[in-house]
Amino acid sequence: TYHGGILYPRPSETRQVVSLDGLWNFVIPQPNRPLQGFDEHWYKKNLKELTDVEVHIMPVPSSYNDITTNWKIRDHVGLVWYDRKFFVPKSWYQIGRVWLRFGSVSYASQVWINGRLVMGHEIGHLPFLAEVTDFLIYGKENLITVACDNTLLADTVPQGKVDTLETGRLVQTYNFDFFNYAGIDRPVTLYTTPKNYIDDITVATETDGDVGFVDYRISYISDVNVTCRVSLIDKKGNVVAKSDERDEPYGILEVPKANFWWPYLMDPNPGYLYTLQVELLSEHRDLIDKYSQPIGIRSIAWTNTSLLINNRPVYLHGFGRHEDSDIRGKGLDLPLIIRDYNLIRWVGANAYRTSHYPYAEEIMDLADEFGIMIIDECPSVDTEAFYDSLLIKHKNSLTELIKRDKNRPSVIIWSAANEPRTQYPQALGYFKEVINHIKSLDITRPTTIVEAQPVNSVYSSQFVDIISFNRYNGWYVNGGNLDVIPLSVVAEATAWHEKFNKPVIMQEYGGDTLEGLHFTPDFIWSEEYQVNLMSKHFQAFDQLRTRGFFIGEFIWNFADFKTAQTFTRVGGNKKGIFTRSRQPKASAHHLRKRYWALATQLY
């Protein structure tokens, strides 16, 4: 296992980055030979040369499921193979170190270069890397091969189950409803660092009046004596603070009259980012390595009734989302993510939860930049049984998530899980350890577990800082009876606060809606029904807000998304306020009125 930092690959005076995205070869083993390729050493030859299996062209990054016309690829369970050839410049020979980094491969993977195993990784939606300096042939063509397995079992994060049909075909089942997309779904990069290099950067910020404090810690690998010069640079390029003459790898920068990082709509200039420029210097003050990390200066604090950013209480209004779209599945797509942020800001949301797994770093960068507050969720969703082996992986997923996102100003809450079966007594020891684990890695942000069980049966919420609950009033509960909503929501949110004495967020509410379906009076699945379901919740939220402990409302979901095939889903989950192609339903206009009104009223 790899214990170093996971800094995003950025070019600099001392680093080069080359993308391996593009069209890869893709092969699925024959149905009766689920592990085909290992014995045959497919990683030692180009997949294109294979004759006993079909070789597809597969775009990277993308989920592989919806690219072809073959349902067996869409619904495949188990191993698949990817490969491509690439060149490594001759000038990289003895340049220092070369690294290979995947933004994510879902779910588990092994990676070979030129037929030699480089690394393996388990759990989707998280980056991993390895040094590949000695695996490459410089100035020549190289081969990279990835074996990827999407199987979810009792001890994977998230959990799933594999059954065998009468025909012998394997089928994957899981408790969560979003489609189990798989493949190399985020960018693949090759990049260089010098031999002695900056390995990781950890930043925590504080505010006092209009002064900002940046507490930094640099970890580096070096076999010679080095110092770390750290400079904080504002948007205009001015150095506003720098490390003292000792240039130690840790310290506190003081920024008078700082531009704080503010959430969207709370300030005319939200999401202000500085650049923390880190330089590794030799004894003779020669530059060895340089890395520039965007950071935001802001404070987070919380009480038993509120969450404060820069000492101002915030009210979170947003949604749960998914990385999901037509054809590419969970594959990173820049046009899509920019469209999404344009819609997020159009609708006046100031926050969302990365339900139900960590989102791509490119998506998180935009949240930092636009001032969108993020509840950052690890990939644990709908856990129904708690095992020690699962706990280890669940903690690993949090270690990797926090290592990746610790420096992001947008991340304001860590979510340890969505809708685990916390009514079982085993959940007590399990979540105590999960939350302690988060606290051992980051004490600057509050924690939550998103609960679906009733308030009096959970064995988990005593450990968290902020209570989160999901409830589908007017849908799974009292479907067709919208009039009950205000009472139920106010009663439940109040009960959560009274029992645990902590701030409360409603993380999910909503109802499926087929765009273009109209009924008056409203009728379930129609646009009118979704709009009225929302209005009833708004009534409840407005009452709750006067009680002082209610700090957020999140509609489920930002957009329609694909699910597994089942009779409860018409072409997927339709609880989006936007369609899957990112056009508004009536509900989006309705939500927009509320969110802008809230913003005007609050800030």
How far apart are the C-alpha atoms of 198 and 278, rounded to whole Å? 8
CB of 322 to ligand GCB, least distance (A): 8
CB of 394 to ligand GCB, least distance (A): 17
352 binds ligand GCB (CB under 6 A): no
Return the DSSP state at 55: P
Q: Which of 361, 369, 419, 553 is catalytic?
A: 419
Nearest alpha carbon to residue 410 among 363, 447, 472? 363
Give residues 356-375 in contact with ligand GCB (rule: CB under 6 A).
356
CA distance 105 to 94: 29
Report the candidate in 202, 158, 194 with the shortest Cα–Cα distance to residue 179: 158
Q: At what angle do helices 334-347 and 361-370 cross, to 10 degrees?
A: 30
Is residue 575 near ligand GCB by the rule CB under 6 A?
yes
Report the residue number, 278 or 455, with the smaller CB distance to ligand GCB.
455
Determine if 177 is a binding residue for ligand GCB (CB under 6 A).
Answer: yes
Do residues 478 and 334 touch, judged by C-beta distance below 8 A? no
515 φ, ψ (degrees, to nearest 5): -60, 135
Question: Contact between 418 and ligand GCB (CB under 6 A)?
Answer: yes
Nearest to 205 by CA among 316, 301, 292, 280: 301
419 a catalytic residue: yes
- Tell me: does residue 470 bind ligand GCB (CB under 6 A): yes
Binding mask 496-515 for ligand GCB (x = CB under 6 A): ------------x-------
Amino acid at 270: P
Q: How far is the CB of 103 from ligand GCB (least distance, A)?
A: 23
| Nearest-5° Cα angle at 276, 274 to 277 | 130
DSSP assignments along 287-343, one per residue: EEEEEEEEE----EEE-SS-EEETTEE--EEEEE--S-BTTTBT---HHHHHHHHHH
d(CA 363, CA 341): 9
Pick the closer one to ligand GCB by CB: 59 or 158.
158
CB 490 within 8 A of CB 527: no
CA distances from 514 to 193, 264, 554 (A): 51, 30, 20
Q: Does 192 bind ligand GCB (CB under 6 A)?
A: no
Angle, helices 527-545 vs 485-500, to 10°: value is: 40
User: Could you say whether residue 452 binds ligand GCB (CB under 6 A)?
Assistant: yes
Distance of closest approach, residue 170 Cβ to ligand GCB, in angstroms: 24
**Given the complex with ligand GCB, which of 227 and 380 has the nearer CB atom?**
380
For residue 573, state whether it binds ligand GCB (rule: CB under 6 A). yes
Verify binding: residue 465, ligand GCB, rule CB under 6 A: no
Q: How many residues interact with ligand GCB (rule CB under 6 A)? A: 11
Minimal distance, residue 20 CB to ligand GCB, in Å: 32
Quick one: 257 exposed, middle or buried, by C-beta within 10 A (0-12, 13-18, 19+)? exposed
- Residues with Cβ within 8 Å of 478's Cβ and at least 6 positions away in sequence, in order, are 484, 485, 488
Taking the CB of residue 151, how many other CB atoms lie within 10 A of it? 18
CB-nearer residue toward ligand GCB: 575 or 580: 575
- Helix or strand (DSSP H, E) at 390: helix 388-405
Minimum gap (Å) between residue 160 Cβ and ligand GCB: 14
3-state secondary structure (DSSP) of residue 15 = strand
Instruction: Please report whether residue 556 would count as binding ligand GCB according to CB under 6 A.
Output: yes
330 vs 575, which CB is nearer to ligand GCB?
575
How far apart CA 491 and CA 471 sit, in angstroms, is 12
Residue pair 534/541 in contact (Cβ under 8 Å)? The answer is no
Give whichever of 47 and 506 is closer to ligand GCB, judged by the CB atom.
506
Give the shortest CB-510-to-ligand GCB separation in angstroms. 7
Q: State whether residue 395 is helix, strand or coil.
A: helix
Q: Which is nearer to ligand GCB, 150 or 470 (CB)?
A: 470
CB of 462 to ligand GCB, least distance (A): 21
Q: With binding defined as CB under 6 A, does residue 324 bind ligand GCB?
A: no
Shortest spacing between CB 356 and ligand GCB, in angstroms = 6
Q: Which residue has the tokens 């902020």?
A: 466
Q: Which of 200, 208, 226, 204 is nearest to 216 (CA)?
A: 204
CB of 220 or CB of 424, closer to ligand GCB: 424
Considering the complex, what minimum distance in angstroms separates the CB of residue 568 from ligand GCB? Answer: 8
Query: Using N-to-C axis directions, what is the helix angle for 426-441 and 388-405, rounded to 10°?
Result: 30
Considering beta carbons, is residue 406 or 421 the nearer one to ligand GCB?
421
Give yes or no for residue 376 binding ligand GCB (CB under 6 A).
Answer: no
- DSSP letter at 561? B
- How large is the angle between the packed helices 527-545 and 586-602, nearest 10 degrees? 20
When binding is defined by CB under 6 A, the residue of 24, 81, 176, 315 that contacts ligand GCB is 176
User: Would you give the DSSP letter of residue 114?
Assistant: T
- Shortest reach from residue 452's CB to ligand GCB, in Å: 6
CB-nearer residue toward ligand GCB: 314 or 374: 374
Nearer to ligand GCB, 588 or 598 (CB): 588
Write out the catalytic residue numbers: 419
- Point out which residues bind ligand GCB (CB under 6 A): 176-177, 356, 418-419, 452, 470, 508, 556, 573, 575
